[in-house]
Structure 1
Amino acid sequence: MDNSLRGRTVVVTGGTRGVGAGIARAFTEAGAEVVVCARSAPEVPLPGAEFIPLDLRDLPAVHAFFAALPRLDVLVNNAGGTPYRLLTDATPERHARVVELNLVAPLTASLAAYHHLRRAHGSIVMIGSVSGTRPSPGSAAYGAAKAGLDNLARSMAVEWAPNIRVNTLVVGMVRTEQSHLHYGDEAGAAAVARTVPLGRLAEPADVGAAAVFLASPAAAYITGASLHVHGGGERPAFLDAATAHKGEAT
């Protein structure tokens, strides 16, 4: 398959670290001209990518950012995230900000990019999460926003066809520079990795490769799809419970 995006312009929101940086690197390696935008500059420069500061919750700034681009072929709505926070441990305003960043901001960016992408017969890749497909205690607002993002992408794919393709990557657990905040030390990360059928956490490059595929000519007939990048998902808890029970019985 030819995944080359040589000569195409790609915007990756939140593309300065972690998964976003992996996505940006994958597009530069595919030959694209990459622009990453976030509130803060990357701590480690991204070779081949241009950084432009942008707060995605500032609507006038978002519209000005996209209006200034000479062209745009691919938009990757990657910016997002949340700290671990039980529902009763935060105010409704804090939860609303999580929804704003993870659902409203991708909608805002997509609308601002619409005319560029329509002219280019371009593509949007939403970066979703397995948190939007299952209960997410401790990140309920985030999970709800990611579930909404997947639905938004499928509706957008129908409304904007045939000029713009819109797909979602449903991403599982990824090893990044922030992994210790979620999984603890190396032993903790290794224990978590053993719960994944493929036996490891994803690398940002795994997500990047999938994003390049969905944006490339190789995926020309794919729109409104949700591609799971989660190593096979999570082993159902009932299987371990049943195995343990059999062991007790014997």
Structure 2
Amino acid sequence: MVLKNFTLYLDPALIGLKDSTTDDYPLMNSPLEPTAIVALYSLFLFNLGPKFMKNRDAFSLKKVMMVYNFVQVVLNFVVFLMVAKLMPNFNLCCNPVNTSNSPEDIAIRRAHYCYTLLKFLDLFDTIFFVLRKKHQQITLLHVHHHIGMAMTTWATAKYLPGGVAFFVFIWNTFIHVLMYGYYLFTSISSMRAVWWKKYLTQLQLVQHCFVSSVFMIHLFNTSCNYSKGWLIYYLLNAAMSIYLFLMFYKKNYIDKKQVSDKKVY
């Protein structure tokens, strides 16, 4: 009842848009499932994990990381292909939700579900940080991004399948193929600083800006019936992500370069 009232507050149309076809899919029956996963994830990051590792040496996890990164590259590429196949029919000005039983809409909802599973798989990134005692890498950007993406993607898959949110997927899966490819390379090689690492962050910033512009078009398009409440939420979340990515970029690539230049002179 609480979830229904909250959803109704965001947009009355959402109640009728619930995608009941996903009820039998793993993780999609109830909002309690993803909420429980995120709650346990947070509890492990900030309480159980640090306590467990307090008097233990950091785990290497090299082979586990290699397998995980390889699986991520493959799965993100597969979902990228699923989405790319459906993108020719995407409308940048107004792309409503896909709730019909047409083969195309069913394929879009299936791709949306697969993308949702990827966002929950991403949570293992931070769990590995805890087990490897890489606490400095558990930043606000990292946690905000993972939890936000997992919960938002689940909610849209359930209540707003496809639609303008679908535009995020092709960008995000493409960048994740490159990102996990980078992680795979560094887990195999002793080389930690790869020249294109900085450009991955730049691509992520471009992604958020480009996607935000499409959300803005949908928001101000009065003839588009996509949920305005969710579009505002998307834009606020994107603004937060852009800010955090900019701070990360400044700290790691601008400030460090300035310090390095000062040392040279």
Using CA pairs under 8 Å that are at least 6 residues apart, name the structure with larger relative contact order, 1 or 2. 2
Question: TM-score normalized by structure 2?
Answer: 0.35
> Which is greater in Rg?
2
Structure (1/2) with the larger strand percentage: 1
Higher helix proportion: 2
* TM-score (normalizing by structure 1): 0.36
